[in-house]
Amino acid sequence: MKKFVGFCVLLMMVAGVAHSTEPTPLWSLTEEDASIFTQQDWHYTEGWRIARLADPITDSFWAQLLEGFGSVPKTLGAGSTVAEHYQWPIIGHSIFNPQNKNISVPDPRDRPYAGWLYLGAGLALTAASGRTDRVELLLGVVGPTALGREVQNGFHALAGFGKSRGWDFQLYDEPALLAQYQTIWDRSLHRFGYIETDALPEVGVTVGNVLTYGEAGGWLRLGHGLAAGGTPQTNTPGLSGTGGLDRTKLEGIFGWMLFGGMQTRAVWRNLFLEGNSYHDSPGVEKRNFVTDEMVGLGLLFRFGLRIDISYIKRGREFSGQVNDDRFGSITLSSRF
């Protein structure tokens, strides 16, 4: 939780110096950590992500890269587009390690140490039917250059925890490339006076040298002011939504939602489990199917603040893994 507070301060600093032609871009910070809800501190140990959601960016590498995306959803039957949103920049970092971090030579039957540092951009197109198609492109690095050792052991030293001793056996440096495509359908179910309910099924595909998988899942939401905010965002891989905060669709000064979701991934490639693509590195045998389950609470405020708090259970990812993993996710979004 202390790490999340520190990142909130960083987010405000970044937003304070950012330049934008959009008067109120939505900055978001996602922090995921097992210590938010549990004492577990292994496997997917920690990850953070900063993104800025705004109207289309122009004259940039990312805009040119995403330029042809607008025609793809129509080809796939999305219909006419009524809204489009770009996310730029996206900056993130994730850390993975084995369960026993107190031994200098890690257990070869457990997942290897790895850090992942990336930046990227995304585009979401929403059709009149309520369907949203989104693409995300991430470029980065896995290995010592990603600074996983420095971030984890640096924080542990500040917090008075012991250092993780096996980072000498982390994955080697490797460029990390990732492209994601996801379609979400928003289907209103029923309204019980003040209370609204809806269902949002989704399918998608992720392709890259770090992660390649197909996925299907969805959310159920219950609350008030659901149209003002999409489903919560989480870090990759995971059941991530569109986020967002449209204050004009709030009926009062705030809205709220309770949500539950599930996603099953058919995994073709997971570098963080199987090891480097071009080096003989530590690795384990991945499971072909992994399921995430999520429950949480979202709060939306008219003055420009959104808070999402989620509890996530991730199914076993590799052969020999004894228990499911559990961690928390907190996303703070604000219009500065």
Residues of the chain with pLDDT under 50: 1-2, 4-22
Residues in the chain, total: 336
Q: What is the pLDDT of residue 124?
A: 87
Strands (E) located in 271-324: 289-301, 305-314
Q: What is the pLDDT of residue 81?
A: 72
Tell me the pTM.
Answer: 0.88
Q: How far, in Å, are 43, 93, 106, 117, 261 from residue 96 at the CA level?
A: 5, 10, 13, 12, 24
Supply the CATH classification number for the domain 2-335: 2.40.128.140
Residue 149: CB atoms within 10 Å: 19
Pairing of strands 305-314, 289-301: antiparallel
C-alpha 307/C-alpha 314 separation (Å) is 22
User: Which residue shows structure tokens 């907190």?
Assistant: 330
CB distance 335 to 34 below 8 Å: no
CB distance 205 to 214 below 8 Å: yes
What DSSP string describes 232-245?
A: PP-PSSS-------
Give counts: helices (H), strands (E), the chain. Answer: 5, 13
Q: What is the pLDDT of residue 191?
A: 86
Amino acid at 19: H
| Radius of gyration of the CA atoms of the chain, in A | 20
Residue 261's nearest CA partner among 225, 290, 287, 231 is 231
Instruction: Give CA 223 to chain center in angstroms.
Output: 23
Q: Please state the domain extents for the chain.
A: 2-335
Contacts of 61 (CB under 8 A, 6+ apart): none
Q: What is the pLDDT of residue 335?
A: 85
Token reading at 300: 């939306």
Condensed to tens digits (0 to 9), the pLDDT of residues 142-184 reads 999 999 999 999 887 887 778 899 999 999 999 999 999 999 9
Q: What is the pLDDT of residue 71?
A: 64
